[in-house]
Structure 1
Amino acid sequence: MAVFSLRLPHELERRLGEEARHCGQPRSELIREALEQLLRRREQERLVARLTAAAEVLASDVSARAESLDVALDFLPADSEALALAEEAGSQERTEQPRPQQWWR
């Protein structure tokens, strides 16, 4: 595991220490969690930006747009079948679950 030296403003260090005491975790663990969340969020933002750019390119190209609509129509029966199967499985799960007993009886 890598070791880092980090300079924090006094107020941020105070808040970090307060949170560490409050939740009973070491400060380093809180920093690792925060850094992981930040990196995950930024990766997701970059992915969404790339998907948006690709969608804009497809939407601006008339032939690509027509082809994607044709492909979507080809997959529509399979999508509908998958949705029906999922809904059927979900309704079976709900009916198979025992009803909770009333605690006051």
Structure 2
Amino acid sequence: MGALSLRLSDELETQLAREADVEGRPKSEVARRALAEWLTAREKKRFMDDMVRAAKLLYSDPAVIAESREIQADFDAIDTTLGHIEAEERATALHPDDPAGT
């Protein structure tokens, strides 16, 4: 395990000591956990920022927009067909998961 030495402002030192007392843990453990959580949050934020940037770039392309609308239309047609099949099964008292209709 690596070691790190750093200087804290009086205010941050007080906050760290208070949190360590509340948690009943050493200040070093509280600081390690806080740093790990902060680094994880930063990584997630960068990932989400990258995803948003990619989505904006992708959906600014008219060809991509047209293709996504075609895909949505296909799914809408499938949903409509499935809805008709389920309605017919209900009308004939067939249970969708039971081929015998019981």
For Structure 1 versus Structure 2, the TM-score category normalised by the shorter chain is 0.5 to 0.7
Q: Name the amino acid aligned to 1:12.
A: L
Residue 56 of structure 1 corresponds to 56
Residues in 1 aligned to 2:72 and 2:27: alpha-carbon distance in whole angstroms: 50
After superposition, the Cα gap between the structure-2 partners of 1:48 and 1:15, relative to the gap in structure 1 and judged at 3 Å, is: same
Question: Shift of the alpha carbon at 1:26?
Answer: 0.9
What is the CA distance between 1:16 and its match in structure 2? 0.8
TM-score, with structure 1 as normaliser: 0.64
Provide the residue aligned with 1:36 in structure 2: 36
- d(CA) in 1 for partners of 2:58, 2:69: 11
Q: Secondary structure at the match of 1:18?
A: helix
Alignment coverage as a number of residue pairs: 79
Deviation per residue, 1:19-68 (Å, 9 max, x gap): 11121011111111111111111111111111111111122111011123
Question: Which residues of structure 2 form unaligned runs of 5+?
Answer: 83-102
Among all aligned residue pairs of Structure 1 and Structure 2, give the percentage whose two residues are the same amino acid: 41
Q: Which has the larger radius of gyration?
A: 2
Q: State TM-score, norm by structure 2.
A: 0.66
Q: Give unpaired runs (5+ residues) of structure 1.
A: 82-105
RMSD: 2.1
